[in-house]
Amino acid sequence: MSEEMTVQETAPAELCAVVKREGVAEQQQSVLIGSFAPYHAQIAAARKTSETITDGGDPLQRKMARECRLELRRVRCAIENTRKDAKADALRYGKAVDGMANVLKFLCEPEEERLEEIEQAELRKEHARIAALVESRTAALIEADANPAAYNLGAMDDATWDTVLAGAVKAKQDRIEAERKAEADRIERERKEAEERDRIKAENERLKAEAEKREAEIKAEREKEAAERSKVEAALKAEREAAQRAAQDAADEAARVAKAAADERAKREAAEAKAKAEKAAAEKAEHERLAKLAAAPDKEKLLALAGDIERLQMPTLDTNEGKRVGNGIIIMRQKMVAWIKQEAGKL
């Protein structure tokens, strides 16, 4: 009995309060307190050191933060193991065990989190620096009408970045210059076409004047040859009959052309109706495929996504720069497909 009093008198007040609150039998109180009390001293010793650690910019303090955090973690894990062993006896005994463990763990966990913040301070600063660098470089490439996704902007050194940005800016300037030249060529072409229209108009007016002059000469000649009109009328009659036959032939040809146009329109409308039906069928099949895919496991969804990416068609690129970018995209697509398949295989 004297030993139990000695244990309880030297034990932390928080632990004694837990066993009394949970109504643990007196003969078990000393056992529980004796199991957990040593951890209180270990935690107090670790916290005494950890409370002096405040500067995440000091490499020595970051090292100390890691060591203290790992020590607190070790004690916390040992407490958890002791809790599991002790709680197996009975429910009420287990409540007391949990209470003690929670009290002690509460002393560890906030300090662990604070120390981890100090330990990771420089790493978070570096992540923030890289994120800001990627953001500014992305904005610069977008301003130059370039694709930021084609580059690993966070890992790129300054010299390489300067070269990439200069190339993107030059490509944009070259494109603007090409568009300006194309516009100038269009304006010059339209000017020449307008001059040609004016020339044709003048030529037509000249021809019209000549035709009117010839008509006047013909009229005068007809009046002069009135005596021969009877002969001319016969010839004119023959010409009229020929003209009528020609007009009939022209009407027949126009009817044939109209029928051919109607037939062609009917064929086109039938083809359009067929294409519309095929499109509707394709959309229905795609909808059914997507619905089936939506109900499929995540692994099948990811594999389907990899297949869609793999089947994407690359445009035909003519310039060396375009081909270089295209090759980069193909490589990135292959890596992306491989990564998705790999991750899907883990599901």
Tokens of 275: 């294409």
**Predicted local confidence at residue 1, as pLDDT:** 41
Dihedrals φ, ψ of 18, to 5°?
-65, -50
| Closest residue by Cα to residue 18 from 74, 83, 72, 71 | 83
**Predicted local confidence at residue 7, as pLDDT:** 52
The crossing angle, in degrees rounded to 10, of helices 320-345 and 298-310 is 160
- Asked if residues 101 and 36 have their Cβ atoms less than 8 Å apart, the reply is yes
| Closest residue by Cα to residue 83 from 70, 69, 102 | 102
Q: What is the DSSP letter of 231?
A: H
Tokens of 41: 């001293």
Q: How far apart are CA 206 and CA 222, in angstroms?
A: 24
Q: How far apart are CA 182 and CA 196, in angstroms?
A: 21
- Asked if residues 68 and 51 have their Cβ atoms less than 8 Å apart, the reply is no
Render each residue's pLDDT in the chain as its tens digit; 347 residues: 444 445 556 668 888 888 788 777 777 788 888 888 888 888 888 889 889 888 888 899 899 999 999 999 999 999 888 888 877 665 666 677 788 888 888 888 888 888 888 888 788 888 888 888 888 889 888 888 888 888 887 778 888 888 888 888 888 888 888 988 999 999 999 998 998 888 898 889 888 888 888 888 888 887 887 778 777 778 888 888 888 888 888 888 888 888 888 888 888 888 888 888 888 888 887 777 777 767 678 888 888 888 888 888 878 888 989 889 888 888 888 898 899 889 888 87
**Predicted local confidence at residue 6, as pLDDT:** 52
> Which pTM does this prediction carry?
0.32
Q: Where are the domains of the chain?
A: 2-119, 126-204, 236-294, 296-347
